[in-house]
Amino acid sequence: MSDDQQMPIEIRDVDGHRAPVARRTGETLADLVHAAHEPPIDDTLARYAAKASIDRSGFDRILVYCAERQCIEERATCPGCRRRSQAMGLATIEDFIAAHSAISIGDQELRILGRGDGVVCFDSFEDFYRRWAGEEYWFWARRVLRKLRHGIRRAHIQGEPFAGEGETPSVILVEPQLADNIGMVARAMANFGLDDLRLVAPRDGWPNERARIAASGANYIIDDSQCYPSLSEAMGDLNWMCATTARQRDLRKPVLTPEQAVEEMARRIGEGQRCGVLFGREASGLTTPEVAEADALVMIPVNSKFASLNLAQSVLILGYSWILNGDGGSLGRVTTYERPIQAGFQYGKDTPANKAELEGLFEQLEAELDAAKFFRPLERRAITVRAIRTMFQRMNATSHEVRTLRGVIGALAKKRKNRDSDV
């Protein structure tokens, strides 16, 4: 095996720092992992095979280097990696600004001046706040490596719609910012029987492989989702729509709890109407003009001092309210080996003890207690017996448990008799 095959990575000077670089492509490992993170793994392998003749095993070795942070031993870091910021001692956002001559935001009309060297650019303040400390590329590499070795987790599970078209409310996400959140929304929808996902101008484009990964098996919702350029197009076929919000709005519209909202939607859907629920951006929610498009507002009871919910959590709460309103849900999963269950005590394959079995237990226990001279004074025997029977009846024992208790009593009685005979 050649040296190139054994070590597909070398250390080079990049921007004045030692950085691990893929030999055949000249890319830093951060750039390579970033490029491989979102596309399907087969597309990534085909691209690198054509670009630099890197086969699956070579790509595996490159990812292992990053995933295991072997760069620490070689004192090398990639630009944009969190390890670079840590190595430079940039513990706070103020440290980061001071280390550069300028931070450019957006179209470069806005600049934050520092005291160091070099200019770094970010798309927006949100991008700056999220990325200044660097990405954990070793974590990204582990995810790509998992796809390479095992495929997308549960990608073979396709699922199927819970109900017919229009029989459940549509979930509309306005300008969702993270594909991972879209995937988690799809998973929450699948949990509670919501099938129709509509996206309005997602920031990172659509379709997106990261959403499929985060959906964790709810792929049919991702695959059947529809993407629209505007809210007006996304809601065009709906007869009634409610908008979720944590902020009070100066709008003359009904304000509903999730339970009231799903009750209204169930009634309308039963009449043949189509309904939907509107959810806003992760960072800022819905604008007032967007909320004004809705027929009602939905506000979830929350801690008034901390009212903001994660996007998928909001969808999950509405979905939970929806399935509670109907009769299509089950407690927990139902598989080939697991049948639906109802609320209450679960006996499994056992059955509740009948009165004859309980009476046999009581008679055996009381006889052994008599033999051990437990009932003292004797005039209180009836009261004590009643208390013991009440205690055991309250435990709601099964037939198997009664047999077990009788075995325990018998074993203790045998031990006592043997001891008495030895005396």
Worst-scoring range by mean pLDDT, 5-9, 25-29, 154-158?
154-158
DSSP letter for each residue of 218-237? -HHHHHH-EEESSHHHHTTT
Q: Is the pLDDT of residue 330 over 80?
A: no
Q: In what order do the strands lie in the sheet with 255-256?
A: 226-228, 197-200, 170-174, 275-279, 240-244, 296-298, 255-256
The residue to which tokens 């009769």 are assigned:
327
Residue 350: Cβ within 10 Å count: 12
**pLDDT attached to residue 353:** 87
pLDDT grade for 329, boundaries at 50, 70 and 90: low
d(CA 331, CA 334): 8
pLDDT grade for 172, boundaries at 50, 70 and 90: very high
**pLDDT attached to residue 233:** 93
**pLDDT attached to residue 153:** 45
Per residue in 11-25, pLDDT (tens digit) is 999 888 899 998 888
The amino acid at residue 394 is R
CA distances from 52 to 83, 260, 401 (A): 27, 59, 68
- Reported as type and span, the H/E element at residue 148 is helix 137-150
CB 261 within 8 A of CB 242: yes
The predicted model scores a pTM of: 0.50
Mean pLDDT of 165-183: 92
CB 197 within 8 A of CB 224: yes
**pLDDT attached to residue 155:** 43
Q: What is the mean pLDDT of the chain?
A: 85
d(CA 353, CA 393): 10
d(CA 277, CA 170): 6
What tokens does 403 get?
Answer: 């047999």
Mean pLDDT of 89-104: 86
Residue 91: Cβ within 10 Å count: 11
First to last CA, the chain: 83
pLDDT grade for 41, boundaries at 50, 70 and 90: confident
Nearest CA-CA partner of 193 in 312, 342, 319: 319
Worst-scoring range by mean pLDDT, 162-171, 280-289, 382-391, 408-417?
162-171
Give me the sign of the Cα torsion angle 317, 322, 326, 331: negative
Q: Is the pLDDT of residue 185 over 90?
A: yes
Secondary structure class of 352 (helix, strand, coil): strand
